[in-house]
Structure 1
Amino acid sequence: HKLIYFNIILFCLSMINLFFASHISDFHQWTGI
């Protein structure tokens, strides 16, 4: 069960990374960084 949860967490992290990578320009505009 731990391995399954670990894979789900990795999948979620990869989805979040892809989301931020695709919206990084908008993110910079909103945060001003």
Structure 2
Amino acid sequence: MLMRREWHFLFLALALDFSFFSDSIPGSSH
């Protein structure tokens, strides 16, 4: 079972990755 700390880190990494990915796409404002 994952701990809250791991979940937070995973979510943060996912959010950051998604943010960079979305930012790298032109004409895409989220």
- TM category (shorter chain) comes to 0.7 to 0.9
Runs of 4+ in 1 over 4 A off after TM superposition: none
Structure 1: unaligned runs, 5 residues or longer: 29-33
The alignment's C-alpha RMSD in Å is: 1.3
TM-score normalised over the length of structure 1? 0.68
Identity %: 11
Alignment: residue pair count: 27
Gaps spanning 5+ residues in structure 2: where? none
